[in-house]
C-alpha cells in the first residue's frame, strides 16, 4: 500500500540543497541557517552511532540542538509517532537524520506526522546518510513496518530539503556491512537506469554509479580500514547527483523496462 500526501505537501520535485565531500557534515550549522528557523533542530542518530567518533564531532558542531538516538530496527508507526510527539512537545524546528535508510525514512515520515498532528507547516528535513546504497536521502519514499500485522506500507511524501553526503562518516563501517552496501548501490544504479520512467540524466547517473561501485567493490569488502572510505566515496554518489536534477527518478519507484 502507498500513502500519498496532498499535492501541496509534495510540490518540490528535487532536493533543494546538496552538500557533498569529506567534512561536509561539519557544515551543518550553515545548512540549518538556510532554513531561517531559530528553533533548535532535532538530530536523530541511528542506534549504532553511540560509539562513533563522528557523533561527538557533530555534537560539538551543533551544541544548542537536541540529539536523540533511535532504537534499532525498521521504521514503525509507534516509533514515528513518538518522534513526532517529541518534536511538538519540545518545540524543535528542523529535523536532521544521521544514519542509514531506516533513520532517514523515520525522519521523513515524522516530519509530516508532526505537522499533521499539530496543524503546523512541515519542518525542513536534512538527510545525512552514513551508509551508501539506500538512496533514501533523495527520494520522497519511506517504508513503515507493522510487525503486529506482518505488513509494510510505502509512504510517499517529500524529498528531504537538504542532503549532506560526507564519506568520512563511513570510516567506521564493518567490512561485511560496507561490501553489502556497495552491492546495494549497484542495484540502485541499475534500477535508476532501467526504470521505465528514467530520463537521460538518470541513465547517465545510474550507469556511472554502477561502474564506480563495481570498480570499488573489492576494496570495499576487503580493506575497510584503509580503502573502505574511498570506495564508499566513489559509491555514494549513486543516487545523490539525481537530487540536482529537475526531475530525478528515484530507484525502485517505477516499473522496469522489458526487453
Residues 62 and 160 in one domain: yes
Residues 146 and 108 in one domain: yes
Q: Does the pLDDT value for residue 7 go beyond 50?
A: no
CB 204 within 8 A of CB 192: no
- The last residue of a domain, from among 157, 172, 187: 172
Q: Does the pLDDT value for residue 39 go beyond 80?
A: yes
**Dist. CA 155–CA 64, nearest whole Å:** 31
pLDDT in tens, 68-82: 999 888 999 999 999
Q: Is residue 77 classed as helix, strand or coil in its secondary structure? A: helix
Residues 163 and 178 in one domain: no
- The last residue of a domain, from among 129, 145, 172: 172
Q: Is residue 197 classed as helix, strand or coil in its secondary structure? A: coil
Residues 63 and 187 in one domain: no
Residues 6 and 129 in one domain: yes
Residues 149 and 237 in one domain: no
Q: 234 is in which domain, residue-wise?
A: 173-259
Residues 185 and 158 in one domain: no
**How many domains is the chain built from?**
2
Torsion, CA 191, CA 202, CA 165, CA 155, rounded to 10: -60
pLDDT in tens, 187-221: 888 888 888 888 888 888 889 888 888 887 777 66
Task: Give the pTM.
Answer: 0.78
Q: Does the pLDDT value for residue 179 go beyond 80?
A: no
Amino acid at each position: 500500500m502507498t500513502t500519498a500526501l496532498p499535492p501541496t505537501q509534495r510540490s518540490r520535485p528535487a532536493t533543494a540543497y546538496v552538500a557533498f565531500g569529506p567534512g561536509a557534515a561539519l557544515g551543518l550549522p550553515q545548512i540549518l541557517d538556510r532554513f531561517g528557523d531559530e528553533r533548535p533542530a532535532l538530530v536523530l542518530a541511528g542506534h549504532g552511532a553511540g560509539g562513533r567518533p563522528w557523533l561527538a564531532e557533530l555534537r560539538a558542531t551543533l551544541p544548542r540542538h537536541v540529539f536523540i538516538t533511535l532504537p534499532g530496527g525498521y521504521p514503525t508507526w509507534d516509533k514515528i509517532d513518538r518522534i513526532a510527539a517529541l518534536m511538538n512537545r519540545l518545540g524543535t524546528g528542523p529535523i536532521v537524520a544521521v544514519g542509514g535508510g531506516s533513520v532517514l525514512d523515520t525522519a521523513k515520515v515524522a516530519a509530516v506526522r508532526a505537522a499533521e498532528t499539530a496543524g503546523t507547516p512541515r519542518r525542513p528535513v536534512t538527510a545525512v546518510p552514513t551508509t551508501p546504497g539506500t538512496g533514501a536521502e533523495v527520494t520522497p519514499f519511506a517504508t513503515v513496518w507493522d510487525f503486529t500485522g506482518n505488513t509494510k506500507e510505502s509512504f510517499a511524501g517529500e524529498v528531504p530539503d537538504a542532503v549532506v553526503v560526507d564519506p568520512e562518516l563511513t570510516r567506521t563501517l564493518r567490512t561485511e556491512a560496507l561490501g553489502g552496501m556497495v552491492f546495494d548501490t549497484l542495484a540502485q544504479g541499475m534500477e535508476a537506469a532501467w526504470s521505465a520512467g528514467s530520463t537521460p540524466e538518470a541513465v547517465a547517473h545510474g550507469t556511472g554509479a554502477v561502474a564506480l561501485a563495481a570498480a570499488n567493490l573489492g576494496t570495499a569488502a576487503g580493506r575497510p580500514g584503509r580503502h573502505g572510505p574511498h570506495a564508499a566515496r566513489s559509491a555514494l554518489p549513486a543516487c545523490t547527483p539525481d537530487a540536482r536534477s529537475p526531475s530525478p527518478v528515484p530507484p525502485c519507484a517505477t516499473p522496469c523496462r522489458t526487453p
